[in-house]
Structure 1
Amino acid sequence: SCDATQLCNCSSMGLDFIPSGLTSKITTLNLAHNRIKHILSQDLQQTVNLRVLLLQSNEISSIDEDSFRSLGKLELLDLSNNSLAHLSPAWFGHLFSLQHLRLQGNSYRDLGKSSPFSSLRNLSSLHLGNRWFSRIRQGNFEGIELLDKLWIEGGNLSQYEPGSLKSIKKINHMIIRIRSIKVFSAIVRDLLHSVIWLEVREIAFSIPAEVQLLGVMTSSFAKKISFKKALLTDATVPEIISILEDMPKLVEVEIIDCRLLGTGRWKIQIQANQSQTLTVLTVEKLSIEQFYLFTNLKDLEGLLSLLTKVTVINTKVFLVPCSLSKHLLSLEYLDLSANLLGDQSLEHSACRDGWPSLQTLNLSQNSLSDLEMTGKSLSHLRKLILLDISQNNFG
């Protein structure tokens, strides 16, 4: 079904093949969620003005070498979640305008012996990898110099040839799902000066000796580091903090959907070289199984004075120690929503001389019940402009 805007939506129609009769008028073709197995040379021959081609979630196992030859204006190609066992450089050879390429969720184990992407000079975002993807070779990314986003599904990535990603001069946001710290360390070594925001997912930081392999990150120019669905322990957190503190341009750290095994009793005293750049910290849905035994985090106090924006949400926070609040000297924005703060614990957390620079405070979805007491607890925050105490238990 095609409309007047040259958009053809043929998704979820049970198609076994690309329909015939497609013309040069079409600019967007959605063939997602069908049962297409093969793409033949003639299927897209006439669609010379196509800008968007969506083929995700089919059963595509073969593509004729010149299937996309006519698609010189194509900007987005989605081949994700199909059955492609290999990638051919010939497929992409004439896609000179391509900006977004999605190849994740297929069955290829590597990217071949050369670069499938050497013709894609305008590529902006690339998403690749799958549960079988195990090897990256030198030369696999030749031809790509600048990416806004590179996303690698590398949960079983076990072989990485050093230098493979070095040809990319700048990556604004790199997302990698990976289990091997050794391979991750080798990748980071190639990205020291090119990645602005590095996001690592599903990695387990459980052995201090392994975390030490990431010491190379202290030379990274990344401005933002995100950990998602990662595992942290009391033994490895100090090592990680020490590395992050030494990163010369790091401004922001994000910890989302992670698990921490421990109670904050760090086995190694954190020897922080007080980062002069780190000002933003976000912790969201951090699972601490014995959160009620968590210690007062005294070792962290020295790291906090330059933080200007802190978000700790949905993490079962029931108290911010007064001594810690007093060290948050530069804090202007604090979001503690969806936690377990009550009237008494807020009084302790927002103690006199705590949060002296605070302008925005979000305490929504906690366990506050006494409005007058909440007002008293916060009355000394002279710079406070915005306060959110919605969805609490006030009468």
Structure 2
Amino acid sequence: MKLFFLCFSSVCLVVFAQSRVIELKCNPNYDISRIVNLPYRCINGLSCFFEHIHVDENTNLILNFDETNYGLDCVGFVNTTISELPSNLFNKYQAINSLYASNIGLLKLPPNTFQNASNALDINLSDNKLRTLEARIFSPCRYLRKLVLHHNDLEEIDMDAFDNLNDLEELDLSNNLLSVIPHKALGQLKGLKTLILGNNSLNVRYGMFPESLVTLDLSYNKLENFTLKSIISLQNLKHLILNGNRIYRFRQHIFPDGILDPLKSLKHVQLSDNEFYCTTLADIVIWLEKHKLKIDVEPHLVIVNSSNIRGVGCKEEQRFFL
């Protein structure tokens, strides 16, 4: 129940607005072939999907639990618009491993959202409107392996938002509005192997990433002064993605001498869609190939009909003659 104050001249009335309550029941026969990028547990296991729910913030969603669905592997939402997940979702479906809640208009994650989600292994909350991640919001999901949060409106992440996620292996925070992520937030993820941070506005600072990383995607973050010194602790890193930044400096600034001694596992680098002069890029390519590092280029970023080296685009330096 919510209070509203309506005032007319000098008289104010208190109005009580009763929240609506809607009881939901999921469809175990939903055709999941219509959904792309589903977790494999949703495809190969027992799934149940809620569909065609369109409610505002004054509506409480209560689940109608069916005992025949107790052993579900996956629960999801499709063709739906809700501001937050049903408060008793994981009370009713404690055994589920996967939650698919992409593109359903989520605005917030109340503190108790994942209170009983101890069996969750992957959660997809992509393409929503989440702005913040509160402290310990995912902590009950202690066995979580994959967390997808791309294409939200995230501006702030509490330093303890990912507390207790010791088994998390993949985290996707791309296409958000992040300019800062607290060191502790990512650094405590000791099992993290893949971190996707593309299309934000982040600065890279020493010590902000866990040493367990194998793949780090920093594409399209407007980076100008990037140097491998800032990730020198990532001794397990194999794939570094730097596409679409503003990197243009000489090789010595990006790849200082001796830097590959601590970064002994690094094998693949992506540098497409930056602002290199061709002479600078040539210097970088020679250095990378000398140290047996492969320059990877995504097919859609390959440059063919203009200046490029190994498919990576570059600018010709202008020369003026008297």
What is the TM-score with the length of structure 2 in the denominator?
0.70
How far does residue 259 in structure 1 lie from its aligned partner after superposition? Answer: 4.4
Instruction: Describe how 1:133-148 pairs up with structure 2 within 5 A.
Output: 133-148=178-193
How far does residue 111 in structure 1 lie from its aligned partner after superposition? Answer: 2.0
Aligned with residue 208 of structure 1, among 245, 249, 272: 249
Instruction: Describe how 1:182-331 pairs up with structure 2 within 5 A.
Output: 182=224, 184-185=226-227, 188-205=230-247, 207-209=248-250, 212-216=252-256, 218-219=259-260, 220-221=263-264, 222-245=266-289, 247=291, 250-256=292-298, 257-259=301-303, 263=307
**Whose Rg is larger?**
1
Q: 1:215 to 1:51 in 2, by over 3 A?
A: same
Output the CA distance in 2 between the equivalents of 1:183 and 1:89.
31
Is the 1:149–1:174 Cα contact (8 Å) retained in structure 2? yes
2:66 is the alignment partner of 1:20: no
2:91 is the alignment partner of 1:45: yes
2:144 is the alignment partner of 1:98: yes
2:39 matched residue in structure 1: none
Q: Which runs of no fewer than 5 residues in structure 2 stay unpaired?
A: 1-26, 31-44, 317-322
Is the 2:151–2:174 Cα contact (8 Å) retained in structure 1? yes
How far does residue 36 in structure 1 lie from its aligned partner after superposition? Answer: 1.4
Q: 1:263 to 1:92 in 2, by over 3 A?
A: closer
Q: What code does the residue aligned with 1:70 have?
A: N
1:121 matched residue in structure 2: 166
CA-based RMSD: 3.2
Output the CA distance in 2 between the equivalents of 1:261 and 1:233.
16
1:173 matched residue in structure 2: 215
Output the CA distance in 2 between the equivalents of 1:147 and 1:79.
18
Q: Which runs of no fewer than 5 residues in structure 1 stay unpaired?
A: 267-282, 291-395
How far does residue 182 in structure 1 lie from its aligned partner after superposition? Answer: 4.0
Q: What code does the residue aligned with 1:2 have?
A: P
Is the 1:70–1:94 Cα contact (8 Å) retained in structure 2? yes
How far does residue 180 in structure 1 lie from its aligned partner after superposition? Answer: 3.3
How far does residue 85 in structure 1 lie from its aligned partner after superposition? Answer: 1.0
Is the 1:225–1:253 Cα contact (8 Å) retained in structure 2? yes
Q: What code does the residue aligned with 1:41 have?
A: S
Q: What code does the residue aligned with 1:21 have?
A: N
Q: 1:239 to 1:135 in 2, by over 3 A?
A: farther
SS in structure 2 opposite 1:139?
helix
Q: What code does the residue aligned with 1:234 have?
A: C
How far does residue 137 in structure 1 lie from its aligned partner after superposition? Answer: 2.4
Q: Deviation digits for residues 82-123 of structure 1, max 9, x if unmatched?
A: 1111102332111012100011211122322x1321211111
How far does residue 25 in structure 1 lie from its aligned partner after superposition? Answer: 3.1
Q: 1:89 to 1:184 in 2, by over 3 A?
A: farther
Q: Deviation digits for residues 8-48 of structure 1, max 9, x if unmatched?
A: 1335x244375621453322112145211112432331111
Is the 2:213–2:234 Cα contact (8 Å) retained in structure 1? no
Aligned with residue 82 of structure 1, among 115, 128, 135: 128
Output the CA distance in 1 between the equivalents of 2:142 and 2:163.
10
SS in structure 2 opposite 1:9?
strand
Output the CA distance in 2 between the equivalents of 1:242 and 1:115.
42
Higher RCO (Cα < 8 Å, 6 or more apart):
2
What is the TM-score with the length of structure 1 in the denominator?
0.58
How far does residue 198 in structure 1 lie from its aligned partner after superposition? Answer: 1.4
Counting aligned pairs with the same residue, the percent is: 14
SS in structure 2 opposite 1:240?
helix
1:163 matched residue in structure 2: 207
Output the CA distance in 2 between the equivalents of 1:65 and 1:133.
21
Is the 2:277–2:314 Cα contact (8 Å) retained in structure 1? no
